[in-house]
Chain A
Amino acid sequence: MSISKAEVAKVAHLARLAIPEERLEGYTHTISDILDLVAQMNAVNTDGIEPLSNPLDAVQLLREDKVTETNQREVYQSIAPRVEEGLYLVPKVIE
């Protein structure tokens, strides 16, 4: 196994996924297989190679700093699971 159950549980938590204990074994197995597959990369010498993050090597565009968007709070909140008086509701954070 290229990754342990404990590591998968830790990463799942980082990704905010509530993985149940009984699924951990299966996930660890498949993810381990995927990591074995990508380990092919290690055989290649990439010293001095510039990483490619955009296939066109494009740089981030900048636009003039002016207001272009209008407030659409009501539209966006109309599809939210829980809203009250224009605010998104979440469980109590501070006791």
Chain B
Amino acid sequence: MTLATQDDLSTLTSKELHQLIINKDVSVMEVVELFLKRIEHYNPQLNAYITVVQDKAREQAIKVDNQIRQGELNHPLAGVPYALKDLFCTKGILTSCGSKMLSNFISPYNATVYDKLNDAGAVLLGKVNMDEFAMGSSNENSYYGAVANPWDLSRIPGGSSGGSASAVAAGLAPYSLGSDTGGSVRQPASYCGISSIKPTYGRISRYGMTAYASSLDQCGPMARSAEDMAVILQTISGFDERDSTSANVPVPNYSATLNESLAGLRIGIPKEFFANGLDASVAKVIQEAVQKFTQLGATVKEVSLPNSHLSVAAYYVIAPAEASANLSRFDGVRFGYSCNDPKNLQDLYERSRWEGFGDEVKRRIVVGTYALSSGYYDAYYLKAQKIRRLIKNDFVAVFNEVDVLMGPVTPTTAFKIGEKSDDPIAMYLSDIYTLPISLAGVPAVSIPVGFSEGLPVGLQIIGDYFNEAKLLNVAHQYQQVTDWHRQTPSQFSGV
């Protein structure tokens, strides 16, 4: 294999990599070695990976090379490497959740999605950085340090799946699985110029995906193309008896409908997503992208999601409330961090938790505990759930009129590291366009559609419940006539 070929491999889609492997142009081991070499070379600048599993990756590469040669494995992800956000449990591998609390946690079991990818012959390269317990929009809340955006190393990659986005954008993995509670795959994908999908709530099993806010959390693929996301989503979706909230709804063949024509597609533009606060140059890129869809035969009309402005308020009650319950399991007794020399049981609990959690996590635990405490439940948690119903009803109504919604993912492009880290409220407000989707539980993709001053801009395409196939079809058709998704930051080319 020449060096020139190696340069190209790191920018290929999963589909292209798999094709090279099947054609015997390259072995799984060669692909894996290339990515391991790139991680070694570039990760110090990015801090995208927390753990690299060289030995396990090579072991799986040998196994998959053999299985492919024997004709025992023909899954479209066979031999293709990937990275997992560090909240997916992986047996025998550190699963830190970006927290000191779990900095010694070697998971005793596997997440369902990890089992499914192993069965498909996918090769795990390592576990990637994230905001602690998935709480954050910049990846600055990680115990393992901030992550850099490959397009500008002084900027954040987004969060909470910041390591996933940074790794894929820099060619340190062809794809990654992140998780999205309020925008955590769509926002970093947008900031780093890659594609992502937050599926319908319940589409993918959450078993082994460490819980933040259980009524919102959903696993989401982050990749180089809609075509790749179709294959990944297909592989990991479906009902799981180990996750009682996973939906018992058939998984369609997402790849089969990618090439459907967009003639007659009805696009709705929520006017609330283009109001005050949206950066003018981001708005321009989004409008140009929407224009492209009309050239593909779609029609566009303005619609309204009248309660969407309440999303930040409702989310910052519901998510902390559920987080405070989920994170009560960390007690310093059974697993995870435990403080030194506890004076008594109370001291063991209180100091283990204070010392083990970072500030943003503790703030949300306190807010959540307050919102659920005696006398405040109706005013906060119940009120937020009622508003959540109003937000959902907006989406239900609008999908009677249009097939998909389109708008920005974020009000601006990636901001500077440190710019908002002392101002949680400013950070929360940057999630304004992703939160309504999470609260409603509908699916959405984020795809790169251009640049503003050298930084990627993402388009959010929102669909009706369980209509991921339509979103992937729409995104794929756009990617057939544009090449934004194939742009890569030049400083990470070669090894």
**Chain A contacts to B: CB under 8 angstroms:** 3, 7-8, 11-20, 27, 30-31, 33-35, 37-42, 44, 46, 49-56, 58, 60-61, 63, 72, 75-76, 78-82, 88, 90-93
Contacts and interface: CB of A to CB of B under 8 A. Distances in A.
Contacts of B314: 38, 41
B348 interface: yes
Nearest to B241: A63
Contacts of A37: 312-313, 316, 425, 428
B108 A55 contact: no
Interface string B296-324: 00000000000100101110110000001
Nearest to A51: B385
B373 to A, nearest CB: 7
A53 B385 contact: yes
Nearest to B388: A52
Interface residues of B, number: 70
Given A79-B106, A91-B342, A18 B347 contact: yes
B366 A11 contact: yes
Contacts of A91: 342-345, 347-348
A93 B342 CA distance: 12
A19 B354 contact: yes
B125 to A, nearest CB: 24
B127 interface: no
Contacts of B386: 46, 49-52
A38 B364 CA distance: 13
Contacts of B388: 51-52, 55
Among B331, B337, B354, B370, max chain A CB count under 10 A is at B370
Contacts of A55: 201-202, 215-216, 388, 392, 439-442
8 contacts: A16-B346, A16-B350, A27-B363, A38-B317, A53-B385, A63-B241, A81-B337, A90-B345
A52 B349 CA distance: 33
B369 A14 contact: yes
Nearest to A92: B344
A22 to B, nearest CB: 13
A31 B226 CA distance: 40
A58 B202 contact: yes
B465 A56 contact: yes
Interface string B421-434: 00011001000000
Secondary structure call for the A interface: loop
Given A30-B424, A38-B314, A41-B387, 18 more contacts: A15-B366, A16-B349, A17-B365, A31-B363, A34-B424, A38-B317, A39-B313, A40-B313, A46-B386, A51-B388, A52-B389, A63-B241, A76-B108, A78-B108, A81-B337, A82-B338, A88-B334, A90-B348
Given A76-B334, A90-B345, A91-B345, A44 B387 contact: yes
Interface stretch (B42-50, B146-154, B376-384, B407-415): B376-384
Interface in B126-143: none
A61 B244 CA distance: 6
B387 A79 contact: no
A58 B366 contact: no
Nearest to A34: B367
B202 A56 contact: yes
Contacts of B366: 8, 11-12, 15, 17, 27, 31
B245 interface: yes
Contacts of B344: 91-93
B420 interface: no
Given A40-B313, A93-B345, A11 B373 contact: yes
Contacts of B367: 31, 34-35
A63 B241 CA distance: 9
B353 interface: yes
Contacts of B349: 16
Nearest to A72: B108
B362 interface: yes
B263 interface: no
CB-CB nearest 7 A-B residue pairs? A55-B441, A51-B385, A18-B350, A81-B338, A46-B386, A52-B389, A49-B386
Nearest to A15: B369
Contacts of B201: 54-56
Contacts of A46: 383, 386-387, 390
B333 interface: yes
Among B200, B331, B332, B366, max chain A CB count under 10 A is at B366
Nearest to A68: B241
Contacts of B350: 13, 16-18
A12 B367 CA distance: 9
A68 B365 CA distance: 33
Contacts of A81: 332-333, 335-338
Nearest to B320: A34
A52 to B, nearest CB: 4
Among A15, A17, A60, max chain B CB count under 10 A is at A15
Nearest to B239: A61
A17 B350 CA distance: 4
Contacts of A19: 354, 362
